[in-house]
């Protein structure tokens, strides 16, 4: 039994923030599941790395081009990604079944270029859901103003959604209520699952920059603390919504709460612990998605306190108030992070397509 199993006993599932085709066929992913990994997340940068650094996609690319010489690079990427997601979902299916649909998910992102397009997001998510054709798929949709109504509609149609790019408490509330509204419209909510991916380390990166510019002793004392406080308040909001009367009617219909998922949990500042955003965010009915290096670090020297996340919410609120008092503005930080996140995800998607385009040119001569 690894420390990941102990973490699950404390109420938190660990999802692996990485995927590559050879992990699926070699048994590596199956071993990770045995070791306690209970889900997988993907993004364009992960796929770019996998396509660029190996030849394991070449055979399928040749086959796709032979079947349709006019296939666009976007269409080819989607076929490559769907194949990987299907393989990973099949490996995680026993986890999904044993958890009665509460865990064992693999996430696939709609094109980040659709972040400001509600109708396009809905159409793309439905297409991916049909093509992957696995009950333990989660489609990733960003929590932009245009993404929120898409999330409600997709939940209502029975599609599992990973709400991503959450930084602000207000945006998290919007996403949670969209999920509840979608469930209320669903004919059978019992098979629908969702997570709200609340980004962590990037908040500290931006907030620390603000604090460094302010430069006062009071400001510098707050470095490395804003992100965890922000996440703790998000979890308090989760408890208010999903453990309170707002969700009672859907709970009675067999619906599941939308779990908080902690994303961007690798430590960016080497002065901080490399498991800072794991040790401090352990709590019941949550998920933490970790890149490989953070998984290894936590297994080696992470500590488990099942009450870490739910403790001292008052202190978290006081810390954000202190951030404002020294001249910081958490709303400005989170607004900038959302804009930056949408842009970076879109840039990563375009870079991935460029990498795939070069790969196709090499394969076709």
pLDDT of 1 over the 70 cut: no
* 261, 53, 292, 238 alpha-carbon torsion, rounded to 10°: 0
Residue 196, beta-bridge partner list: 163, 260
Report, as an integer, the average pLDDT of 142-163. 98
Report, as an integer, the average pLDDT of 284-307. 95
Cα 179 from chain centre: 16
pLDDT of 176 over the 90 cut: yes
Report, as an integer, the average pLDDT of 27-35. 97
Give the pLDDT of residue 207: 98
Give dist(CA 276, CA 83) in Å, integer.
34
pLDDT tens sequence across 238-258: 999 999 998 999 999 999 999
Report, as an integer, the average pLDDT of 33-39. 97
CA distances for 66 relative to 18, 47, 69, 77, 358, angstroms: 29, 22, 6, 15, 17
The percent of residues above 70 in pLDDT, for the chain, comes to 100
CATH of domain 3-364: 3.20.20.70
Question: What region, left, alpha or beta, does residue 36 occupy, with left being phi > 0 and alpha being psi -120 to 50 degrees?
Answer: left
Give dist(CA 339, CA 226) in Å, integer.
19
- Where are the domains positioned within the chain? 3-364
pLDDT tens sequence across 257-271: 999 999 999 999 999
Residues with catalytic roles: 140
Give the pLDDT of residue 246: 86
**Summary mean pLDDT of the chain:** 95
pLDDT of 313 over the 80 cut: no
Residue with tokens 């509330």: 173
Report, as an integer, the average pLDDT of 311-325. 92
pLDDT of 312 over the 90 cut: no
Report, as an integer, the average pLDDT of 32-47. 94
pLDDT of 96 over the 80 cut: yes
């Amino acid at each position: 039994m690894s420390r990941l199993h102990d973490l699950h006993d404390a109420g938190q599932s660990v999802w692996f923030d990485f995927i590559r085709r050879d992990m699926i066929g070699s048994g590596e992913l199956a071993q990770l599941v045995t070791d306690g990994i209970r889900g997988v997340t993907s993004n364009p940068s992960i796929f770019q790395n996998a396509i660029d650094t190996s030849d394991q996609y070449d055979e399928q690319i040749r086959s796709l081009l032979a079947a349709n010489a006019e296939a666009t690079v976007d269409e080819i990427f989607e076929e490559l990604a769907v194949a990987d997601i299907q393989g990973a979902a099949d490996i995680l299916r026993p986890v999904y079944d044993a958890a009665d649909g509460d865990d064992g998910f693999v996430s696939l992102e709609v094109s980040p270029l659709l972040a400001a397009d509600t109708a396009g997001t809905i159409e793309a998510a439905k297409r991916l859901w049909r093509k992957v054709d696995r009950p333990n798929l989660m489609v990733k949709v960003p929590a932009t103003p245009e993404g929120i109504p898409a999330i409600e509609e997709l939940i209502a149609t029975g599609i599992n959604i990973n709400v991503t790019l959450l930084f602000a408490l207000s945006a998290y509330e919007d996403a949670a209520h969209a999920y509840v509204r979608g469930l209320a419209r669903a004919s059978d909510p019992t098979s629908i699952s969702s997570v709200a991916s609340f980004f962590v380390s990037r908040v500290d990166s931006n907030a620390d920059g603000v604090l460094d510019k302010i430069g006062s002793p009071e400001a510098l004392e707050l470095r490395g603390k804003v992100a965890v406080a922000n996440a703790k308040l998000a979890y308090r909001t989760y408890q208010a919504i999903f453990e309170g009367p707002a969700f009672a009617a859907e709970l009675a219909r067999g619906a599941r709460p939308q779990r908080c998922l902690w994303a961007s949990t690798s430590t960016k500042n080497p002065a901080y612990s490399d498991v800072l955003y794991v040790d401090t965010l352990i709590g019941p009915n949550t998920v933490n998605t970790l890149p490989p290096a953070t998984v290894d670090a936590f297994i080696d020297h992470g500590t488990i306190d099942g009450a870490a996340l739910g403790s001292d919410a008052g202190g978290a609120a006081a810390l954000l108030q202190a951030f404002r008092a020294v001249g910081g503005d958490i709303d400005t930080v989170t607004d900038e992070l959302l804009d930056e996140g949408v842009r970076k995800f879109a840039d990563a998607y375009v870079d991935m397509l460029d990498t795939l385009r070069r790969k196709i040119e090499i394969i076709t001569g």
